[in-house]
Structure 1
Amino acid sequence: MTVTAPDHGVLFDTSEPQPAKPRRRSARNRRGARGWVIVALLVVVALLMIFPFWLALINAFKPPAEYIENGPIGIPTQLDFTALIEFWTGVDFNQKLLNSVIVSGSVALLAAALSLLSAYAIGIGRIKGRVWILAVFMLAFTIPQEALIYPLFMLARDVGLYDTLLGVILILAVLQSAFGTYMLSSVLGSFPMEVLEAARLDGASRIRILWHIVLPLTRPTLAVLVTFFFIWTWNDFFLPLIMLPSSANQTVSVALGALSGQYTSDPTALAAASLAGILPAIIFFVLFQRTLMRGVTLGAVK
């Protein structure tokens, strides 16, 4: 209700004030809709990534006649382990699996140790030309293996490490430690110097500081590196293919690559071989995913 006076216009307004429009609610709704769109896109991407593994899983245990009848996408009505058993025994997969475990585990541990020692000297030692040294390490990591394979082949042959697991372990450990050194140097570059000075005043040597102070604090980051190094080495194909020609020293990836042409006419056997090759890496990732996520979270918080 509005009260007016003659020749004076409006004196005062007795009507109740109207509530303001809910702008915050509309902005919140837009953010919520945007979040649902992002979640939907992530679900689609996850399904596309899982789809090849799903095909390998259902076709590895599918009878050949049922594969011809229903195609690769059809769900098998009965489980047939014949293709998997024939592949496992035909290529001596136990030996190939053992070789991959030895190579991948040794490379992961050795590369992590080399990365820690190099990063300790570069990040904490603060040597001259630190930035240029890290640039060289990063350049070494980005060089493709095809450009290095000939000198590595000649060197391994001359020192007697050609066609041996030790030769592949040493080469891959040195190559992958370049990335580990670059990553750990950035972490150790921001290491609290007060802790190190206090340890030096107490008479601790450099080795003792590394073992009792630096190593425990960088253990989550080292766990991430070990996980990455293991998976990268497990999936590496080109270097083991050139450096391990004999069947007794072949890894899983090389065995799968050599047998792909043999099993092209039998899709179920090829699916069984693919499943046998990727299953150990998936198991390793599932077992260490908590360690991996904890190391990434601690690095982000730091």
Structure 2
Amino acid sequence: MTGTTLTLSRRARHKGLGRVVKWLVLAVMVGLALLTASPLLVLVLTAFRERSDYATHGPLSMPESFTFSAFGRYLESVNFPLALFNSVVISLLVALVGVVLSLLAAYAIGIGRIRGGAAITAVMLFATMLPQEAIIYPLFYGTQEIGIRDSIWSIIIIFSVLQAAFGTYMLGSLMSTFPPSLLEAARLDGASRMQILWKIVFPVMRPTLSVLVVFFFIWTWNEFYIPAVMLTDPANQTVPIALSTVRGQFSTDMTQLNAGSLLSLLPTLIFFLIFQRTLTRGITAGAVK
């Protein structure tokens, strides 16, 4: 009887200790979440406050009143709808073209087993590691020679190739593990190479391709250096470039800058929320494979 009582008391202590550990872990995770979200909170509070309030109390204080005046000043100083249109068109086309190029190149390397596939993959990996400052001069003069430098097509072509280099490296390693028996069965049934690609490989790789589309869109949206060099006409500028124009040489209206940053962030946030389930399924499918 005494042994049973001791066992029950030990179990009760273990349960109590487990609950304490769970609450401690929860408290730590909540603290980390708040710490991670604090820059976004400061961004939002600064965007909705008066310029004089920010100058007097600084960015870490609560606004005396919430106002949209900073948004109005930002929309008056830049053509945000046009910049938004340019960014959406560029990011969408780069995402789609980059994924198609990645799929075709990875299919040739991973399944087609072309000669020099390993060397080509190494070149693709090297291309993803090159800093943009190292390739800006040949890109600038190359696009200038063919007459597309100050055009959104120059950015679409450049980033489609750059994103496809990463996509080819990633998809090529995945396709090299594709079941050979499945491919051989399709060949015996008379399927051509393109039929194998679109009817067998593509459906299996679709979750991974959807992840690449989301990543390529967000990465291209946030690009600044190459678009800033290539696009000098305000009619072709993207959202990050339009945002940089509100920075003064000697002083900057931080409320206006934060308002523009918030407007620039919203499209990618909406895009991510729309495709969040697709992104989760794609990562999960890749983990299961």
Distance of aligned partners of 1:28 and 1:234 in 2 relative to their CA distance in 1, 3 Å threshold? farther
The match for 1:282 is 269
Match for residue 240 of structure 2 among 246, 250, 253: 253
Give the residue type in structure 1 aligned to 2:141.
M
Quickly say closer, same or farther: Cα 1:28–1:147, change in 2 above 3 A: farther
More divergent stretch after superposition (128-137 vs 239-248): 128-137
- CA shift in 2, pair 1:263/1:228, >3 Å: farther
Distance 1:192 1:30, change over 3 A: farther
Range with bigger deviation, 34-43 or 135-144: 34-43
Residues 1:273 and 1:126: Cα distance change in structure 2 (over 3 Å): same
What is the CA deviation profile of residues 63-92 of structure 1, one whole-angstrom value per residue up to 9, with x for unaligned ones?
Answer: 234334543233335431122022123211
* Aligned-pair Cα RMSD in Å: 2.7
Q: State how far apart, in whole Å, the 2-side matches of 1:177 and 1:23 are.
A: 59
- In the other structure, the counterpart of 1:83 is 70
Equivalent position of 1:229 in the other structure: 216
Aligned to 1:168: 155
Q: Distance in 2 between matches of 1:263 and 1:297?
A: 49
Distance 2:151 2:288 in 1: 42
Summarize deviations over 1:84-143 as a string: whole Å, max 9, x none: 022123211000000000111111111100000000001111223333322211111011
SS of the counterpart of 2:248?
Answer: coil
Instruction: Give the TM-score of the pair, scaled to structure 2.
Output: 0.89
AA matched with 2:234: S
Alpha-carbon offset, residue 23 of structure 1: 9.4
State the TM-score, normalizing by the size of structure 1: 0.85
Cα offset for 1:160?
0.7
Identity of aligned residues (%): 48
Per the TM alignment, residue 205 of structure 1 is displaced from its structure 2 partner at its CA by 1.2
Whose helix proportion is higher, 1 or 2? Answer: 2
Equivalence for 1:120: 107
Q: How far did 1:34 drift?
A: 7.0
- Consecutive unaligned residues of structure 1, counting only runs of 5 or more, are 1-15
Alpha-carbon offset, residue 20 of structure 1: 7.9
When structure 1 is superposed on structure 2, of 114-123 and 72-81 the one drifting more is: 72-81
Q: Is the 8 A contact 1:223 1:295 kept in 2?
A: yes
Pick one of 106, 115, 128 that aligns with 1:141.
Answer: 128
User: Which residue of 156, 162, 167 corresponds with 1:180?
Assistant: 167
Secondary structure of 1:170's counterpart equals helix
**Pair member with larger Rg:** 1
Q: Could you tell me whether the CA contact under 8 Å between 2:77 and 2:246 is conserved in 1?
A: no
1:218 paired with 2:205, answer yes
Q: Secondary structure at the match of 2:275?
A: helix
Distance of aligned partners of 1:37 and 1:174 in 2 relative to their CA distance in 1, 3 Å threshold: farther
Give the Cα–Cα distance (whole angstroms) in 1 for the partners of residues 231 and 265 of structure 2.
20
Secondary structure of residue in 2 paired with 1:293: helix
1:106 is aligned to: 93
Task: Report how far residue 29 of structure 1 moved.
Answer: 8.5
Alpha-carbon deviation of 1:206? 1.1
SS in 2 for 1:259: coil
Is the contact between residue 263 and residue 269 of structure 1 (CA under 8 Å) also seen in structure 2?
Answer: no
Deviations 1:24-62 (A, max 9, x none): 999999888777666555444432332121112122121
Moved more, 285-294 or 32-41: 32-41
2 CA distance for matches of 1:189 and 1:23? Answer: 53
Given that 2:247 and 2:253 are in contact with CA atoms closer than 8 Å, whether structure 1 keeps it comes out as: no
* Contact 2:74 2:246 survives alignment (8 Å): no
What displacement does 1:21 show?
A: 11
**Secondary structure class of the residue paired with 1:183:** helix
- Aligned residue pairs: how many? 288
Partner amino acid, structure 2, of 1:255: A
2:67 is paired with a residue whose SS is coil
Aligned to 1:267: 254
